[in-house]
Structures are given as C-alpha cells and as structure tokens.
C-alpha cells in the first residue's frame, strides 16, 4: 500500500498576503508542515502541490517532492476536490493524506496516529476535528444539553466536534469514485467515514493576521522550551488533592464516566470499543468504602503529574499498550499484562508511550490524598 502526503500551497492569499511564503521564526510557513510530514516516516512520498514553481525549492530543501499543478487551478474559485482529483490522476498511490501548510504546530506523532487510525479502521475518508465540551446550539435549538433540565458542568457535557481540516485522508479509489458518481468527495460522500480529534496547539490554523501572530509566539516558545507545567496558587509548599474527577481533568482526561460503577459484571473489551482509541477517557468500574477500580486510557505523551500518596499503597494492571513509570526519578517501561505496585509515600509519574493508546486499570480508593510537590504542580 502506497501512502502519499500532499501539502497544497497557493501563492495568493487574500487575508494574509503570500502567507505560505511568509517567514515564521525565520522560516517559510509551509516548511513546518513539510518537515513534520517527512519526520513522521509514515509516507512513501511527500509532495507540495502548487501552481507556482517558487515552492519547488522549499520542497526540495525540506525533503519533499514538488507537483506543479495547472495554472487554472490557482483561481479563487478552485475548490479542494478539483486540485485533489488532478493530483490523484497524476501521482500514483492508494491513500492520500492532505496536510495544510497553515497549521505549523501539528506534530509528527499526531500525523502518524492519524494515518494509523485510518488504516486500522479501514476508513475511506478520515477527517481531523476539534472537540469542544461546551453548551452548543444550532438553528436556535440545543445540541448537547436540555433547556428543561438543570445546568451541568462542561466536563459532563457530550463533546461536539468541528472540522480541524489540517489533516484529511482519502482512499484514492473511493475519492475518484465519488468524483465520478457524485461530482464531489471532500466530506466522504459514499464510503466509510471517520473522525479524528486533535487538541492543543495542533489546531491552530493561520487564517488571518492575528492567527499568524499567535503561531509566531507559540513557535518561538516551543523552540526555546519555554512551555512549562501549569502552576496554581497554593497556601503551602505541597498541594493536596482528593477530588478524583477534578484530578483526572487536570491530567487531560477528555471523557470521564463515574456513573456506571459497581455493576455485577463489566466487560473491559466492550468499554474499549464504546469509547474508542483516539482520545483519552476513564471509566470507574468499582467504588466501595474499601477501594476503587478505574480504567484510564490515554494517548502517547499523555499521563499524570508527579505525586505521591502519604497513606495508601497503589497498584495497576496494564490492559493495553505501554506506560512509562517515573518512580523517584527511576524510569521503567510497563507493558500489557504486567502489574506494578507503588508503596505509599513514593513519588511517581505515569506517561503513555509507544504508537497507540495505552490503557491501565488503577486500583485505589476514592478519597486517597494526592500530594503534588511544589516542583511539579
């Protein structure tokens, strides 16, 4: 199977003139998408697709090929389907992944996860999205809340998703069939369609001058390693947390379910199928006065903060994937099928690693104190 990355680039732009060529931290904007696609090492070929030869030198410098599309496709009226079908008719492949040059903060890992998600689920079309957990209305009607019910907190709302568009994936065969039969293919048309959520800086899309300034600041901070863990006001050197749902939100869990606990039988495989493997989630299986058991699923790079429990021994069973445990500064990789035990008072931090979602079963207790030292708030 041949997987092709295509980065479309017009020379003209109304809101930010020549934005694809504009220097961002000393480099052309488009160079970030090219470099990231190449570094992902998941593509057989990476192309810049443009009517202007000025992009050919940039493509070559950052390790991509250049496809010179016809000049008539440079018009403002040209849509995505038109330059895509032209590209597909001239460059052989099986799967096309379109990466916009206007999202310079997308990571190689996210691109790789996007492609693997498409392959694993055999989607004909895969669309990147941005999840929002906020009260949403459409056509004067509520989408994810009820007006005749009490207000609920945003973290308990059903997420709504909007197009990110930075990443789009299509099977060559299905795209061509939709163009032939329907006259369009961008949204998927006929075929199996999937959606892949992105978050954080990856969702920045430069569409105006303000977006460009924001990306400029973010790029410089990332280059200088100025990003740090969030800090909060505390009245002591060590922060104490006991509210598990709030702790998990701070640790980046997107979907939390604490309402279906203590069932006689829980099928872990069914729960994994229910929540999926593209965004973080947790589901508490057991919660009694003695202990609790919670499934925690996170994407590579996600995890919790350095902490310890002063009066509780804790253990986990690894259900899927791999986790890195940082225990008092000593790091070790724990894999599927293994159990790890942490004694009370021992500082530890857990991070999902590898190329896929990792899932662990945490056995603890609902009211266990989590102590976060000052250096790792």
Alpha-carbon gap, residue 159 to 140, rounded angstroms: 18
- Name the residue among 75, 81, 76 with its Cα closest to residue 181: 81
- pLDDT value for 7: 97
pLDDT in tens, 78-99: 899 999 999 999 999 999 999 9
Residue partners of 220: CB distance under 8 A and separation at least 6: 25, 226
CA distances from 50 to 47, 74, 75, 79, 166 (A): 9, 8, 12, 13, 17
Residue 239 and residue 371 in contact, taking contact as beta carbons nearer than 8 Å: yes
10-residue mean pLDDT profile of the chain (377 residues): values are 96 77 92 96 97 95 96 87 96 97 92 95 96 90 90 81 94 97 96 92 87 87 58 59 82 87 92 92 89 93 91 92 93 95 92 94 87 63
CB atoms within 10 A of CB 216: 17
**Cβ neighbourhood burial of 269 (10 Å; 0-12, 13-18, 19+):** exposed
Placement of tokens 């924001």 in the chain = 214
**What does the H/E/C string look like for the chain?**
CCEEEEEECCCCCCCCCCCCCCEECCEEHHHHHHHHHHHHCCCCEEEEEECCCHHHHHHHHCCCEEEECCHHHHCCCCCHHHHHHHHHHHCCCCEEEEECCCCCCCCHHHHHHHHHHHHHHCCCEEEEEEEECCCCEECCEECCCCCCCCCCCHHHCCCEEEEEEEEEEEEHHHHHHHHHHCCCCCCCCCCCEEEEECCHHHHCCCCCHHHHHHHHHHHHHHHCCCCCCCCCCCCCCCEEECCHHHHHHHCCCCEEECCCCCCCCCCHHHHHHHHCCCCCEEEEEEECCCCEEEEEEECCCCECCCEECCCCCEEEEEEECEEEEEECCEEEEEECCCEEEECCCCCEEEEEECCCCEEEEEEECCCCCEEECHHHC
Query: Can you give the pTM of this predicted structure?
Result: 0.63
CB atoms within 10 A of CB 237: 9
Residue 109 and residue 199 in contact, taking contact as beta carbons nearer than 8 Å: no
Q: Which CATH number fits domain 239-376: 2.60.120.10, 1.25.10.10, 3.60.21.10, 3.40.50.1480?
A: 2.60.120.10
Residue 201 and residue 301 in contact, taking contact as beta carbons nearer than 8 Å: no
CB atoms within 10 A of CB 48: 28
CA 230, 231, 233, 235 dihedral sign is: positive
- pLDDT value for 376: 42
pLDDT in tens, 159-198: 899 999 899 999 999 999 999 999 999 999 999 999 999 9
Q: Where do you find CATH 2.60.120.10 in the chain?
A: 239-376
Alpha-carbon gap, residue 52 to 63, rounded angstroms: 18
Q: Where do you find CATH 3.90.550.10 in the chain?
A: 3-223
Q: Which CATH number fits domain 3-223: 3.40.50.300, 3.40.640.10, 1.10.150.170, 3.90.550.10?
A: 3.90.550.10
Buried residues in 340-374 as b, exposed as e (16+ CB within 10 A): bebeeeebbbbbbbeebbbbbbbbbbbebebebee
Strand bridging mode 45-50 / 65-68: parallel
């Amino acid at each position: 199977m041949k997987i092709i990355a295509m980065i479309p680039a017009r020379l003209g732009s109304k809101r930010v003139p020549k934005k694809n060529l504009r220097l961002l931290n000393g480099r052309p904007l488009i160079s970030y998408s090219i470099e990231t696609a190449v570094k992902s090492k998941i593509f057989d070929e990476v192309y810049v697709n443009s009517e202007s030869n000025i992009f050919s030198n940039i493509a070559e410098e950052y390790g991509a090929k250049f496809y010179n599309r016809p000049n008539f496709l440079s018009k403002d009226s040209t849509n995505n389907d038109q330059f895509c079908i032209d590209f597909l008719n001239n460059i052989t492949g099986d799967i096309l992944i379109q990466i916009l040059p206007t999202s310079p903060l997308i990571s190689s890992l996210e691109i790789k996860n996007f492609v693997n998600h498409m392959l694993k689920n055999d989607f004909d079309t895969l669309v990147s999205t941005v999840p929002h957990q906020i009260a949403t209305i459409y056509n004067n009607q509520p989408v994810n809340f009820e007006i005749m019910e009490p207000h609920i907190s945003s973290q308990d709302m059903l997420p709504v998703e909007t197009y990110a568009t930075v990443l789009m994936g299509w099977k060559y065969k299905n795209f061509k069939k939709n163009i032939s039969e329907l006259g369009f293919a961008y949204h998927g048309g006929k075929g199996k369609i999937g959606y892949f959520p992105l978050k954080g800086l990856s969702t920045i899309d430069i569409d105006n001058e303000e977006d460009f300034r924001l990306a400029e600041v973010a790029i410089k901070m990332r280059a200088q390693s100025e990003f740090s863990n969030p800090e909060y006001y505390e009245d002591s050197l060590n922060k104490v947390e006991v509210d598990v749902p709030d702790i998990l939100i701070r640790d980046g869990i997107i979907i939390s379910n604490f309402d279906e606990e203590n069932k006689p039988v829980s099928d872990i495989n069914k729960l994994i199928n229910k929540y999926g493997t593209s965004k973080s989630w947790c589901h508490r299986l057991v919660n009694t006065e003695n202990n609790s058991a919670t499934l925690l699923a996170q994407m590579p790079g996600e995890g919790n903060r350095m902490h310890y429990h002063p009066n509780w021994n804790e253990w986990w069973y690894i259900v899927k994937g791999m986790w890195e445990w940082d225990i008092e500064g000593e790091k070790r990789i724990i894999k599927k099928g293994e159990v790890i035990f942490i004694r009370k008072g021992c500082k530890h931090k857990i991070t999902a690693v590898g190329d896929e979602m990792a899932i662990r079963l945490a056995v603890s207790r609902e009211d266990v104190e989590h102590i976060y030292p000052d250096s790792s708030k």
